[in-house]
Amino acid sequence: MFIQFEKIPWLPAFIAAAYLFKKGKNLNEIIENVIKTGIGWYLILLGADISEWALLPLAEKLFFVTGVRGGVLNTEIFGSWLLREAANTGFLAFLTAFFMNLLLAYIRKRGYLFLTGHHLMFLSLMVVSLFRHAAGLPKLPAALAAGVVTGIYAYVSVWIGSKSMEKLKPGSSAGLANSTSGAAFLGVRIGRCFRRRAKEFYGKDGKNTGYITSMGILTILTLRILLMLFAGESTKAEWRACFIEALAYGTALTMIIQGLRMFLGTFIPMFWDMGKCLLPRLIVGLDSTAVITYSPKAWWAGFLAACFSGLAALCMLILLKAPFVPLPGFTSLYFAGGVAGVFGNAEGGKTGAVVSGTVVGAAVIFMMSLFMTIHGSYYGLGAAFGETGYGILGLLLTFVLKLWK
């Protein structure tokens, strides 16, 4: 279906083999890891195809009921679509982004290094798509330009995230390498507004009980049933279709996540080794899940607040007949709202956590609505990027490219 030369992961396979050879691995280990890299690549692409099949009926039903275009917020799903489109060009941008990040850290003697591989790849893919569609660049220049821009953003993102992490753990040598650095920044700033009145804080007690795949299935199932009922099509066939599409979506999401782990399993250690070798003062950018343990209850408070504000923003956009309406993907709001809640709690207590989550939830919906409206290439497919980082970088770069063009 998509077995074409440009879709074959020849560039990732070559880079993985070269790194493993440099590490002194034997031939069997090199072959095994290269095969895992290839399997991960195709799992992501297959998940992209299945998720598109599962989400198209939801997008069509939304348009039939409300008259607006829209899609579910899910970074992994949308990122897999962009990898399917860009293929080796996207991987080249990903590599260039890391080396640009490493170069900046080396020159400035401040080792802010973005080591959350899937977000660095998805950010690179988004920027490649913008350079291809908005600026009309050929593949190779688009990949290199996207890598430079994403690498600069990655460095700045970890730097901002490290300043925010200071609020949780003074003297910490870590930052955030995630699409939620903007949520952390907003959480700190909003929390400060409630510092004087903060009397109660969420502590470190509590348990993280998030199940991302199950959450995604419930999201699609709930949205599909609501749209079916509003459309007055409550038949056995429709109910059966709801469950099949929701399970297909969960299957696709599971395949993409597992594929990412297999595909990036060689490259993240490679990035880590290069960072340790060249940067004596390495400040590692971590995934957003690293902050959950600081206050699980604050995370959940921010997440739930983001869900309510996201739903309110959704209703507002539907009433205003916005060109694109992001449907609150609870997996995306789980991370964006959760991060905002933890940092808001650190500065402004329970009120800071709830208000930060509320602001971030609405911000994600409005930013992605504007980004997808301007970008316009994926209106009818039923998904969009989630979280703050894609909205911030996507909108800034889109406006710059529009002005430049």
CA angle 82, 322, 222 (to 5 degrees): 70
Residue 399: Cβ within 10 Å count: 12
> How many Cβ atoms are within 10 Å of 367's Cβ, its own excluded?
20
Q: Which residues are bridge partners to 73 per DSSP? A: 384
1 has a pLDDT exceeding 80:
no
What's the pLDDT band for 199 if we cut at 50, 70, 90? low
Residue 207 has pLDDT above 70, yes or no: no
Among 42-51, 179-188, 346-355, name the most confident range.
42-51
Q: How many CB atoms lie within 10 A of CB 271?
A: 21
55 neighbors 357 (Cβ within 8 angstroms): no
For range 303-317, the mean pLDDT? 92
CA distances (Å), 213 to each of 6, 210, 347, in order?
30, 9, 32
- Give the lowest-confidence range in 157-166, 227-236, 277-286, 372-381: 372-381
Note the pLDDT tens digit of each residue in 144-156. Answer: 999 999 999 999 8
| 17 or 188, which is more confident | 17
What are the pLDDT digits (tens) for 283-295?
Answer: 777 777 778 888 8
Q: Per-residue pLDDT for 4 more than 60?
A: no
Beta bridge partners of 338: none
* Percent of the chain predicted with pLDDT > 70: 93
* In the block, residue with structure tokens 């940092």: 343
Buried b (16+ CB within 10 A) or exposed e, 169-187: eeeeebbbbbbbbbbbbbb
CB 92, CB 346: distance < 8 Å? no
Task: For residue 220, give the amino acid letter.
Answer: I
Q: What is the pLDDT of residue 2?
A: 43
For residues 176-197, average pLDDT: 79
Determine if residue 35 is left, alpha or beta; phi over 0 gives left, psi from -120 to 50 gives alpha, anything else beta.
Answer: alpha
CA distance linking residue 245 with residue 224, whole number of Å: 9
Measuring CA to CA, which residue among 317, 314, 318, 365 is closest to residue 337? Answer: 365
Place of tokens 């002194």: 24
Q: Is 404 exposed, middle or buried (0-12, 13-18, 19+ CB in 10 A)?
A: exposed
Structural Rg of the chain based on CA atoms: 21
Tokens of 142: 């688009």
Report the mean per-residue pLDDT for the chain. Answer: 85
Q: What pLDDT score does 143 carry?
A: 93
Q: Residue 377 — pLDDT band, cuts 50, 70, 90?
A: low
Give yes or no for residue 378 having a pLDDT over 70.
no
DSSP string, 216-240: HHHHHHHHHHHHHHHHT---HHHHH
Encode 98-132 in three state secondary structure. Answer: HHHHHHHHHHHCCEEEECCHHHHHHHHHHHHHHHH
Spatial separation of the C-alpha atoms in residues 333 and 365, rounded to whole Å: 10
Q: With b meaning 16 or more CB within 10 Å and e meaning fewer, what string describes 77-91?
A: bbbbbbbbbbbbbbb
3-state SS, residue 41: helix
- The single-letter code of the amino acid at 393 is L
Under a CB-based contact definition with an 8 Å cutoff, are residues 320 and 209 in contact? Answer: no
- Between CA 357 and CA 337 the distance in angstroms is 5
Which amino acid appears at position 27 of this protein? L
Task: Find the range with the poorest average confidence among 222-226, 254-258, 328-332.
Answer: 328-332
Whole-model pTM over 0.75? yes
Confidence category of residue 101, pLDDT binned at 50, 70, 90:
very high
**How many Cβ atoms are within 10 Å of 196's Cβ, its own excluded?**
7
DSSP string, 71-98: EEE-HHHHHHHHHHHHTHHHHHHHHHHH
Q: Give the pLDDT of residue 198.
A: 63
Average pLDDT for 174-195: 80
Specify the DSSP class assigned to residue 176: E
* pLDDT exceeds 50 at position 169: yes
Alpha carbon distance 304, 306 (integer Å)? 5
* Whole-angstrom distance, CA of residue 234 vs CA of residue 338: 35
